Structure 1
Amino acid sequence: MIKAKLARVAAVVGASAALVVGLSASAQADSDKTINLPSSRGYMHFHDDGDVFSVCDTKADGYGVTGALWVRNSANIVSQLWTIDDGGDSGCDKKGENIGQLSTYQMEVWWHGGGSAVWSAWFNE
């Protein structure tokens, strides 16, 4: 009887561990982020594998696109880390930034022709 109970407990613990590992793998695989400007004018993308940010101007309309990365530290102080611009050339502009777990980050992208900026949700690894 005790062996049967131990076997059931071991099975439940094993299944729980497999579920946690599976959920962790899915969260890691889905950690890339993209925010898009209206009218397909451009976007900002965070590629988690390598911690690379891209800003892309997708319309040849004479205006460019700028992306910014903001950080909020454990004291809840928010500051802008950097900006990158894209426009007037082919391809996207990129910048690396090591994203960790001690702070949270937010992307912002805007079109130089006017309108509101688009913001991501706060995130970290």
Structure 2
Amino acid sequence: MARSTFTRAAVIGAAAATLFAVSSGPALAADVRVSDKTIKLPDGRGYMKFIDDGDVFEICDTKADGNGVTGTLKKQYVAGNISTLWTDGDGGDNGCDKHPYNVGNDGWYQMTLKWNGGGATVTSEWFNE
């Protein structure tokens, strides 16, 4: 009888622990996704940053070399299709441009940044709120 009671208590405890872990999983994952994101070009040519507080993207040309940088935001919808939402550039001066855009949780978003003088494009991981 004591063994049966102990077994029931162990099963109930394990079920409660599993329920807690499963129910807190999405909340913890959401905390990881909701934050500022930054991608940087090599050689300090520029960066693109998503500022979560206010949903603002900052595109920065950090070298006054006359070329500038171009940032793009893409969205992958729940159905799987991907579209370019906007493209914005920061000219050949040393400074930053800001682009407000409300990032939601109805899909995934990806930033890309390229130096207008050539070279590879840098890409962020997919993210959402």
Could you say which residue in structure 1 is the equivalent of 2:56? 52
Quick one: distance in 2 between partners of 1:110 and 1:116?
Answer: 7
Shift in alpha-carbon separation, 1:103–1:26, aligned structure 2, 3 A: closer
> Which residue of 75, 80, 94 maps to 2:79?
75
Post-superposition CA distance 1:33-86 (Å, at most 9, x none): 000000000000000000000100000111110000000001100010001110
Identical pairs, percent: 55
> Normalising to structure 2: TM-score of the pair?
0.75
* Structure 1 residue 101 corresponds to structure 2 residue 102: no
Quick one: distance in 2 between partners of 1:23 and 1:106?
Answer: 21
Could you say which residue in structure 2 is the equivalent of 1:27? 32
1:106 maps to a residue whose letter is Q
> Normalising to structure 1: TM-score of the pair?
0.78
Which SS does the other structure have where 2:120 is aligned? Answer: coil
Structure 1 stretches lacking a partner, 5+ long: none
Shift in alpha-carbon separation, 1:124–1:26, aligned structure 2, 3 A: closer
Structure 2 stretches lacking a partner, 5+ long: 1-8
Superposition CA RMSD, Å = 3.1
